[in-house]
Amino acid sequence: MTSNVQSAEVTAPKLLINGEVVTTARRREVINPATGDAFTAVPDATPADLDNAVAAARRAFTGWSKTSLQGRQMAVQRMVAVIRENLDELSLLVTLEQGKPLAKARGEIESGLRYCEAYAQMQIPVEVVRDDATERTEIRRAPLGVVGAITAWNYPILLALWKIAPGLVAGNTIIVKPSPLTPVATMRLAELLHDVFPVGVFQVVSGGDDIGPALTSHRGINKISFTGSVATGKAIMASAAGTLKRLTLELGGNDAGIVLDDADPASIAADLYWGGLSNCGQVCAGLKRLYVPKRLADQVSDALAAVAATVRVGNGLEDGVDMGPIQNEAQLNRVNSLVESSLARGAREIFRGEAPSGPGYFHPVTLVRADDESLPIVEQEQFGPVLPIIAYDDLDDAIARANASDLGLGASVWSPDEARAIDVAERLEAGSVWVNQHPAMSPDTPFGGVKQSGLGVESSLHGLLAYTDITVLRIKH
């Protein structure tokens, strides 16, 4: 399978707007991060193409919003079935453009489908506030209109499905703009779903630096749902202000994990490792700062290094690979800079794994003792296969240091004493706090951040209702 898959040619996906193929003068090469070479090129939409997509979405909204909730959910279920029928192809495209191992790419899509299935079963409640002899008052939910969904390059299909399913179930039409680094699988998704939804209900518009601002400021867009960096989230918030768009922003995290002094390093090492370095460390809610009691620091470091030594880094299309490359060269350079500058300032490297030499954006798994809070590798979100281990003497001080970040997406506490762990968890400033795991997400649980990690939540009924406005119906008898 390996050699045939790697040599397979990929047909570039088409740009579909208003149900028709659009020819563009501009094309964008898409790089395979495992090789550093382009494997295909995709059409690059212009602002005029975006205008046409928005017009089509607004026309489609009239009929789609009036379709029954059950009808919209049945369409989402058909979407799930089509994606499952094409799972192998989509998984391959995700691996080629994102870099993760093929089995992980398949797992990403299957996870997204579970969320879609959950949304296809959720009911949108009508709350009766009053129903007496004089008046009936109801709180209802109405779709917003056209949703602009902007996804990130670390989980291109999962993040798209997280937005497509609730947006459509709520009665909106949706335009997805994938990252220009990973547009291929998402554009192919639009081709596969061409006949599932009415024309204009779901569209994908690929493009570069000019399409994002055009989308977020567009007068025909009613909501932006974005996953990505804090800096871009702030720019989107400013751009959307002119039309008071509704916003869901899932931004960065520099998640802290605190190991308590009664923890068993050997029993938690694997969960700590994958909590921090799953998807090559490119997880917004991944564990990025590990606080460990000083007396356990060497034991935890050794246990983590033992796990890291078993991880094979390589091309995600090869059998037996556990971790792929960093997705793009700029991020690879950033991770290298964070590590090198931290080592120069006193951090100590305690493990460096092996990574393929030659082409591709590979970085070895790296564990660092970094007890100085001001070191770049601690202060900044790494978003790569690097984990700093920070020793502490006083638990209260560790909690204060964990909370000192401007970010607050996730956090975790590790201890066999659940009551004690919960007491610490309640003091951590994060949208999600986990005990003896990191991260853990499910379709029935909201996910979002506090502080500068974002606005609003995704997933669960709370995430679904974020695609609606409250309307009040008051009937005088």
> Looking at 97, 250, 381, 429, which residue is catalytic?
250
Distance CA 312, CA 315 (A): 10
- What are the tens digits of pLDDT across the range 361-413? 999 999 999 989 999 999 999 999 999 999 999 999 999 999 999 999 999 99
**Which own/partner pairs from 64-72 qualify as long-range (CB within 8 Å, at least 24 positions apart)?**
64/168, 64/171, 64/172, 64/173, 64/197, 64/198, 64/201, 65/143, 65/171, 65/172, 67/171, 69/123, 69/124, 69/169, 69/171, 72/168, 72/169, 72/171
- Parse the chain into domains and list their residue ranges: 2-251+453-476, 255-442
| Catalytic residue status for 250 | yes
List pLDDT tens digits, range 165-187. 999 999 999 999 999 999 999 99
CB-based contacts of 8, cutoff 8 Å, min separation 6: 92
Task: Reply yes or no on whether 116 is catalytic.
Answer: no
Please check the confidence at residue 10 and state whether its pLDDT lies above 90.
no
pTM of the entire predicted model: 0.96
Confidence class for position 280, pLDDT limits 50, 70, 90: very high
For 291-334, write each residue's pLDDT tens digit.
Answer: 999 999 999 999 999 999 999 999 999 999 999 999 999 999 99
pLDDT in tens, 188-197: 999 999 999 9
**Averaged pLDDT for residues 104-122:** 98
Q: Which CATH number fits domain 2-251+453-476: 3.20.20.70, 2.30.110.10, 3.40.605.10, 3.20.20.370?
A: 3.40.605.10
DSSP 273-321: HHHHHGGGG--TTSEEEEEEEGGGHHHHHHHHHHHHTTPPBS-TTSTT-
- Alpha carbon distance 406, 410 (integer Å): 12
User: Out of 108, 116, 284, 318, which one is annotated catalytic?
Assistant: 284
- Closest by CA position to 83, among listed 159, 206, 170, 190: 190
Taking alpha carbons only, the member of 30, 16, 47 closest to residue 204 is 16
Whether 31 and 123 have beta carbons less than 8 Å apart is answered as no
Q: Which CATH superfamily is domain 255-442 in?
A: Aldehyde Dehydrogenase; Chain A, domain 2 (3.40.309.10)
